[in-house]
Structure 1
Amino acid sequence: MAFDIAKEHLEKLGLGDRIHTFEVSSATVELAAQAVGCEPARIAKTLSFMVQGSPILVVAAGDAKVDNHKYKDQFGVKAKMLSPDEVAGLVGHGVGGVCPFGIKDGVKVYLDESLKRFHEVFPACGSASSAVRLTIPELELASGSPVWVDVCKAWQEEGKQGTEQSGMAGMTKTA
């Protein structure tokens, strides 16, 4: 059901032809990178947090880790991830398929600076066996969030700047 909601959202924006489904799980960054055929850094992972009683999503590069100090400076609270049960109920997607579109009303989405080094990234599409290939401007459009934050670390380390190789191995197009 969450996949269908995310797909419908993307189709309304003219991005439905970018959705791909897999015969294998894409529930983790590593599995998604294998399914897509790209480096893990280009997987746009969507992290779910609670801020002042409301759920928020932070979309970050697959090789980025939340920096607690930066997060607290940005949001004014300690980073507290939602439990798997809370994610499904509050966001609308289950863990492994959380994406920043087709979500419940009132969930704010923030895009992390770690994504800006790529032309295209691959967020999930509402299920643990899907992804969608989006440019950064398309990600902004699809997520409804042109709001960028800098709350992650580790991605700027030497050798982690990423490359612009294209993935798509093993994908089945779902349009």
Structure 2
Amino acid sequence: MSFATARAHLAAHGLADRVVEFDVSSATVELAAAAVGCPPERIAKTLAFEVDGGPILIVFAGDARVDNRGFKDQFAAKPRMIAGDRVESLVGHAPGGVCPFGAADGVPVYLDASLRRFDVVYPAAGSANSAVRLTIDELLDASGAVGWVDVSQRPSL
């Protein structure tokens, strides 16, 4: 159901025609990059964390890792990812398809600064075999993001 929810959410933003379903898994950054045909860093991975007893979603570039200090400074809490068996019930999407589109009511979405270096990225679309091609502005709008955070470490160039 979360694929249908995400697709309907994207349709409300005029973006449903960008959703692609694959015959192969896109559940990890590497698999998604292979399915889409793009570099892994352009996959916009959505990670689910628990902060103050509730879930939040943060969308990162595919090559970014969570910066513990930056996360703690931003959210006044240590980064604690939600256990895989609880993700769907808390955010509305199962692991492998977690995305910022059509998430459960009240789940705030943030975009990480690691995405700012790209014009186009590919987040999941609610299933472990889907993606959607979006500009950064479209991602910001369609995700309903609260705003930008800088809670990542990126590889040195």
Name the structure 1 match of 2:50: 50
Structure 1 residue runs of 5 or longer lacking an equivalent are: 159-175
The answer to whether 1:74 aligns with 2:74 is yes
Which residue matches 1:39? 39
How far does the alpha carbon of each residue in 1:84-139 deviate from its partner, in whole angstroms, 9 at most, with x for none?
12110000000000000111001000000000100000000000000000000000
Per the alignment, residue 129 of structure 2 pairs with 129
Query: Taking every aligned residue pair, what percent have the same amino acid on both sides?
Result: 62
One-letter amino acid of the counterpart of residue 78, structure 1: K
Q: Which residue of 2 aligns with 1:169?
A: none
Q: CA deviation at 1:154?
A: 2.3
C-alpha separation in 2, matches of 1:121 and 1:44: 6
Contact 2:121 2:133 in 1 (8 A): yes
Partners of 2:108 and 2:146 within 8 A in 1 = no
Larger helix share, 1 or 2: 2
Q: Normalised by the size of structure 2, how large is the TM-score?
A: 0.98
Q: 1:20 aligned to 2:17?
A: no
Q: Distance in 2 between matches of 1:154 and 1:131?
A: 22
Aligned residues: 157
**Is residue 148 from structure 1 mapped to residue 148 from structure 2 by the alignment?**
yes
Coordinate RMSD, CA, aligned: 0.7
Corresponding residue SS for 2:10: helix
Q: What is the aligned partner in structure 2 of residue 87 from structure 1?
A: 87
Moved over 4 A (4+): none
Query: When the two structures are superposed, what TM-score results if normalisation uses the length of structure 1?
Result: 0.88
